[in-house]
């Protein structure tokens, strides 16, 4: 069984009819038409035991909580405010996120952190830091782990985490892409796990630091993720560009992620799936019986 530690099934990209990415055990497929309910059923039938869904912006909290409620325990919600959305937030949004955090079944706060990938005004980065510190405090009050989104901002993020070390209750650096030295700070110093997904299948020069990280990091610190509908593997030559660009990423690629991790760590894919599932349950305090089992 596998658990997707980061996906956005309540995203509008999964509304109505949509194309999506599949993996048949040997190659990727671009399925031209899908619907959310049958997709979730297919994920369950293929050994996906559950999904953790973090918030994107403040409004998304309500949608993901509703989807979690009707998923029958398949989707575990995390509430928060994404760093790239913080600059749009109003003062009252702190109160809204706090209220959402009181909902039943919340497993984490996030996604939160810092994102310096896009050029932003100084006040935008300042607002990201305010929200990051506030969400660390909220997670501490609730005794919950964090789902971190840190992009091209490790120096500032590490500084904030060090100043708030006593408030940390574990968590994951999702969509991790950096090399082993940075990974070691997050795992050994803060006890955080690393979310590994489609970035392992990007062009060789781009994925090389992450490959070194996966090889060097103890398996107990790795989680499987997709970040669907985003972060697809690079387009295979046998699929047209237009078809691939429209397809949504899904948890159905998790076996491919597990296989690649297994290759890099010289272990079996079955062991990778088993251990990363155990890691996810530990980080998010999921009892084994709580994870969906058909």
Report yes or no: 37 and 64 within 8 Å, Cβ to Cβ: no
pLDDT of residue 288: 52
Q: What is the DSSP letter of 232?
A: P
Report yes or no: 143 and 137 within 8 Å, Cβ to Cβ: no
The per-residue pLDDT for range 55-98, each reduced to its tens digit, is: 999 999 999 999 999 999 999 999 999 999 998 899 999 999 99
CA distances from 106 to 17, 77, 131, 242 (A): 28, 5, 19, 37
pLDDT of residue 293: 45
Q: What mean pLDDT is predicted for residues 15-41?
A: 96
The architecture (CATH level 2) of 2-286 comes to Alpha-Beta Barrel (3.20)
CA-based angle 36:151:95, to the nearest 5?
70
Q: Which helix (H) or strand (E) holds 28?
A: strand 28-34
pLDDT at 206 over 80: yes
What are the structure tokens assigned to 178, written together? 């950096």
pLDDT at 123 over 80: no
- Residue 132: left if φ>0, alpha if ψ -120 to 50, beta else—which one? alpha
- CA-based R_g, the chain, Å: 18
pLDDT of residue 289: 43
* Mean pLDDT over each residue of the chain, to the nearest integer: 95
Q: What mean pLDDT is predicted for residues 182-204?
A: 96
The span from the first CA to the last CA of the chain, in angstroms, equals: 11
The more confidently predicted of residues 291 and 223 is 223
What is d(CA 255, CA 266) in angstroms, rounded to the nearest whole number? 16
pLDDT of residue 48: 97
In the chain, where are the structural domains located? 2-286
Q: What is the DSSP letter of 17?
A: S
What is d(CA 64, CA 45) in angstroms, rounded to the nearest whole number? 22
How many angstroms separate the most distant Cα atoms in the chain? 50
The per-residue pLDDT for range 102-122, each reduced to its tens digit, is: 999 999 999 999 999 877 677
């Amino acid at each position: 069984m596998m658990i997707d530690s980061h996906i956005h099934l309540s995203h509008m990209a999964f509304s109505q009819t949509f194309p999506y990415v599949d993996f048949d055990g040997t190659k990727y497929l671009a399925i031209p038409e899908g619907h959310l309910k049958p997709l979730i059923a297919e994920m369950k039938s293929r050994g996906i035991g559950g999904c953790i869904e973090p918030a994107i912006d403040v409004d998304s909290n309500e949608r993901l909580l509703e989807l979690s409620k009707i998923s029958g325990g398949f989707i575990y919600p995390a509430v928060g405010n994404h760093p790239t959305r913080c600059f749009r937030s109003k003062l009252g949004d702190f109160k809204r996120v706090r209220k959402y955090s009181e909902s039943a079944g919340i497993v984490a706060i996030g996604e939160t952190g810092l994102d310096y990938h896009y050029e932003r005004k100084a006040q935008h980065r300042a607002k990201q830091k305010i929200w990051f510190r506030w969400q660390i405090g909220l997670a501490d009050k609730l005794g919950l782990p964090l789902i971190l989104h840190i992009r091209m901002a490790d120096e500032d993020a590490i500084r904030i985490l060090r100043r708030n070390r006593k408030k940390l209750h574990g968590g994951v650096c999702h969509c991790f892409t950096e090399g082993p030295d940075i990974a070691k700070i997050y795992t050994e110093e803060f006890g955080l796990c690393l979310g590994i997904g489609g970035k392992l299948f990007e062009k060789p020069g781009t994925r090389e630091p992450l490959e070194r990280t996966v090889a060097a990091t103890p398996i107990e610190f790795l989680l499987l993720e997709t970040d669907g509908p985003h972060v697809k593997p690079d387009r295979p030559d046998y699929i047209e560009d237009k078809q691939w660009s429209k397809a949504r990423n899904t948890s159905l690629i998790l076996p491919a992620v597990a296989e690649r991790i297994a290759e890099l760590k010289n272990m079996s894919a079955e062991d990778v799936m088993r251990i990363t599932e155990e890691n996810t349950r530990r980080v998010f305090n999921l009892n084994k019986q709580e994870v969906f089992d058909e």
